[in-house]
Amino acid sequence: MSCPVRARRLACAALIALLAAPAHAESLTIDLPTALERARQRAPRAVSALARVGEARARRVGARVLFTQNPEIQVGAGRRYGTPRTLAADAQLTQPLELMRRAPRIDVANAELERAHAVSESELRELSLEVTQAFYDARYSDLAVELAERNVRLATRGADVARRRRRAGDLTDLEVNLATIALGRARASLEAARAERAASVGRLGALIGAAPADVITLAGDLEPAALTLDTLRGAVAQRADVRAIEAEARVARAQETLADVSAWPDVGVWFGYEREEGDSIVLGGLVLTLPVWNRAQGERAAARARLRRAELERVAVVTSASRQVLDAFEAYLRARDGVDIFERDVLPTLADSESLLERSLDAGQITVNDYLVARQEILSARREHLERKLALARAAASARFVAGVTP
C-alpha cells in the first residue's frame, strides 16, 4: 500500500474516532442559585424569551426612520401630432412629509420594547418556579437515596446478627428468612430511590441546559429562607406579569396618540419637470390629504379598548394575587410548623431509638420480628421528615412565586 493511501486512511480513521468520541463530561456542582442562573441563560424558554426582546428592539429601528413612505416618481412621455410635431415629456417626484408622526411612532416602539422586557421577565418568573421545584425534588431524591443506603446498612447488620444467633441456636430458620427478606427489600428500595433520583436530576438538568455527558452533583438543603407576610404583600405590585400589563397600557396610550396624529391632514411636497414644444418647465407644489372618510377611527377605538382591557386586567391580577399571597403564606406557615414540631418532638428520639434497637438485637433482648417492625417504623419516620421538609420548601417557593419575590 502506498504511503499517500495509508495516510489518507489513517486520517479518515482518526476523524471517525474523533466524531464518535463522547462529548467532554463536565462535573457540575449545582445549588439553587446556580440552577436559577443557568436556567435564565440556557433554558430553551429563557433563550426564546430573551430573543423576543431582541425582536422588539429591532422593530424600534424601523420606527426611527425619517419617513415610512418612500418618494414616488412618475414619468411620462408622448408625441404631439400637429404642425409642428413635437415630443412632450413629464416627470414628477412626490414625498409625503408625515408631519408630527415620527415621535409617536418611536413612543409606540419604545413602549413595545418595555412590554417585551416585562413579558420576558414574566416568563422567566414562571421558569424560576419550575426550576426551584425541580431542584427541591432532585435534592429530596438525593437525600432519599442516602436514607435508603442507611437502611441497607442497618438491614445488612440485622441479617448478619440473625445468622450469627441462628448458628448459636437462639433463632429459628424462619426468623433468619425474615431478616434476609428485609435485606432484599431494602436493596430493592435503594435501587428504586436511585432511579427516582436519576429521573429528577434529569428533569433539573434539562431545565438548566446541562449537556448529556455532564455529571450533576447537588449542593444545599431543603431549608428555604424565612418569609414574612409584609414582604410578600409588598412585592405583589412589582410582579413581572403586573409590570407587563402596565407596559401593555403604555403601548395602548402611545398607539392612541399615534392614531390622533394620523387623523390630521397629511402634507407632502412634489417637484415636477415638463418639456413641451421645446420648452422646459420646472414645477413644485404641495400635496394635502383630506381625512374625510378615514380619520383613524378604528385605530383610536382599538387603542382605547386595549387600554381599558389592560386597566381591568391589572386590577383583577393584583386582587387575585393578593388573595393568593394570603393562602400561600398560610400554607407555608402550616408546613413550617409541621417541620418544627417533627424536629422538636421526633428527631431527638430517633437516633436514640436506633442505638437501643441495635443493642437489643445483639443482646437477644428483642425478637427478629419486633426488630424489623421497629426498624421500619424508624425508617418511615425519617422518610416522613424528608417529605415534610420538601413540602415546606415547595410551599415557600409557591409563596414567593405568587408574590413575585425572586427565589
Q: What pLDDT was estimated at residue 407?
A: 67
Q: Is the Cβ–Cβ distance between 307 and 251 less than 8 Å?
A: no
Q: What pLDDT was estimated at residue 310?
A: 92
Question: How far is the C-alpha of 373 from the C-alpha of 378, rounded, in Å?
Answer: 9
Closest CA to 52 of 244, 208, 331: 244
How is the chain split among helix, strand and coil, in percent rounded to 5?
70, 10, 20
Q: What pLDDT was estimated at residue 79?
A: 78
199-223 per-position pLDDT tens digit: 999 999 999 988 888 899 999 888 8
Question: How far is the C-alpha of 362 from the C-alpha of 373, rounded, in Å?
Answer: 16
Question: How far is the C-alpha of 30 from the C-alpha of 141, rounded, in Å?
Answer: 14
Closest CA to 250 of 81, 109, 60: 109
Q: Any idea where the domains of the chain sit in the sequence?
A: 24-71+101-265+319-403
Per-residue pLDDT of the chain (407 residues; tens, 9 = 90+): 444 444 445 444 443 333 334 445 578 889 999 999 999 888 888 888 888 888 888 888 888 888 888 888 988 887 777 677 778 888 888 888 877 888 888 888 888 899 988 888 888 889 999 999 999 999 999 999 999 998 998 888 888 888 888 888 877 888 888 889 989 999 999 999 999 999 999 999 999 988 888 899 999 888 888 999 999 998 998 888 899 999 999 999 998 888 888 888 888 888 888 877 677 888 888 888 888 787 888 888 999 999 999 999 999 999 999 999 999 999 999 999 999 999 999 988 888 888 888 778 777 777 878 888 888 888 899 999 999 999 999 999 999 999 988 76
Q: What pLDDT was estimated at residue 134?
A: 94
* Helix 173-207 with 32-42: angle, nearest 10 deg: 40
pTM greater than 0.85: no
All 3 cell numbers of residue 324?
Answer: 393568593
Q: What pLDDT was estimated at residue 324?
A: 93
Count Cβ atoms below 10 Å from residue 87 Cβ, excluding itself.
Answer: 12
For residue 90, the surrounding DSSP H or E stretch is strand 86-96
* Helix 102-167 with 240-262: angle, nearest 10 deg: 160
All 3 cell numbers of residue 282?
Answer: 420646472
Q: What pLDDT was estimated at residue 25?
A: 59
Question: How far is the C-alpha of 382 from the C-alpha of 376, rounded, in Å?
Answer: 10
Question: How far is the C-alpha of 116 from the C-alpha of 250, rounded, in Å?
Answer: 12
- CATH code for the part of the protein at 24-71+101-265+319-403: 1.20.1600.10
* Cβ partners under 8 Å of residue 22, min gap 6: 213
